[in-house]
């Protein structure tokens, strides 16, 4: 493929990115061709060395999506970033999607455990107070059970807050890993 074909394909595939980014990327690849021609290589050899323009454009677009996820942390943006990275190849299906799904499963489990501990504490508190009204028999010290219920509820709430911070930390880690992954693919 000659320089014009390569640049045209790359330009078409980069559509949707900001114009200044497209211009900068195209300038870089035109520079690759200029340097290669000076060194006596043909345009076909240079285009083979540089790589497939469609894959190059995908990696740049994925990079933009990841940067957007870093600037605007939402669950939608992180999912878009993971999907854009996975779309770059089979390697990413294994090394990006698998750990991402595992991490999401762990976080959901931790939030479920926090909710269970909180509701268990609330249930204990309510059971001790209203149990005798409905014919229930409280076999332990009611005052101690109330404090245990309050303590368990507080523990569940603290666990939930800890999970929120853990999720924010995981979000930052995921975006950094995706960025690192894109850098590896570009090289």
The answer to whether residue 140 scores a pLDDT higher than 90 is no
pLDDT digits (tens, 9 = 90+) for 146-166: 899 999 999 999 999 999 999
pLDDT tens track for 53-111:
998 999 899 998 999 999 999 999 999 999 988 888 877 888 888 899 999 999 999 99
Instruction: Based on the fold, state whether residues 112 and 22 are members of the same structural domain.
Output: no
Structural domain range at position 176 = 71-186
- Claim to verify: residue 142 and residue 87 sit in the same structural domain: yes
Is 122 a domain residue? yes
Beta bridge partners of 83: none
Are 116 and 77 in a shared domain?
A: yes
In the chain, % of residues over pLDDT 90: 63
- What value does the mean pLDDT take over residues 31-56? 91
Whether residue 56 lies inside any domain: the answer is no
- Regarding whether 180 and 116 lie in a shared domain, the answer is yes
Whether 59 is covered by a domain: the verdict is no
Do residues 90 and 181 share a domain?
yes
Return the pLDDT at 181: 85
Say what the pLDDT of residue 187 is. 65
* List of residues 6+ apart from 65 with CB closer than 8 A: 77, 80, 81, 84
65 within domain boundaries: no
Q: Is residue 66 part of a domain?
A: no
Is 18 in the same domain as 81?
no
Token digits of residue 128? 């001790």
Mean pLDDT of all residues belonging to the chain: 90
Q: Do the domain assignments include residue 1? A: yes
pLDDT for res 138: 61
Domain count, the chain: 2
3-state secondary structure the chain: CCHHHHHHHHHHHCECECHHHHHHHHHHHHHHHHHHHHCCCCHHHHHHHHCCHHHHHHHHHHHHHHHHHHHCCCHHHHHHHHHHHHCCCHHHHHHHHHHHHHHHHHHHHHHHHHHHHHHHHHHHHHHHHHCHHHCCCCCCCHHHHHHHHHHHHHHHHHHHHHHHHHHHHHHHHHHHHHHHHHHHHHC
Instruction: Answer yes or no: do 85 and 113 share one domain.
Output: yes
**pLDDT score of 176 more than 70:** yes
Same domain, 178 and 101: yes
Task: Determine how many CB atoms are found less than 10 A away from the CB of residue 19.
Answer: 8
Phi, psi of 16 (to 5 degrees): 105, -20
State the maximum Cα–Cα separation within the chain, in Å, rounded to a whole number.
95
103 and 165 together in one domain:
yes
Same domain, 84 and 172: yes
Whether 78 and 38 map to the same domain: the answer is no
* Average pLDDT rounded to a whole number, residues 167-179: 93
Q: Are residues 96 and 166 in the same domain?
A: yes
Residue 60 covered by a domain? no
């Amino acid at each position: 493929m000659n320089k014009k074909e390569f640049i045209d394909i790359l330009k078409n595939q980069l559509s949707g990115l900001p114009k200044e980014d497209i211009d900068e990327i195209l300038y870089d690849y035109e520079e690759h061709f200029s340097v290669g021609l000076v060194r006596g290589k043909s345009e076909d050899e240079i285009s083979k060395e540089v790589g497939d323009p469609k894959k190059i454009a995908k990696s740049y677009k994925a990079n933009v999506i990841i940067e957007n996820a870093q600037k605007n942390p939402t669950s939608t943006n992180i999912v878009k970033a993971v999907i854009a990275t996975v779309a770059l190849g089979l390697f990413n299906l294994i090394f990006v999607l698998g750990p991402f799904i595992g991490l999401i499963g762990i976080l959901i489990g931790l939030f479920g455990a926090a909710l269970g501990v909180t509701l268990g504490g609330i249930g204990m508190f309510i059971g001790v107070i209203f149990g005798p009204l409905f014919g229930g028999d409280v076999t332990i010290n009611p005052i101690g059970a109330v404090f245990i219920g309050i303590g368990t509820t507080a523990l569940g709430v603290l666990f939930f807050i800890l999970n929120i911070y853990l999720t924010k930390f995981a979000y930052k880690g995921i975006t950094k890993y995706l960025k690192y992954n894109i850098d590896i693919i570009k090289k």
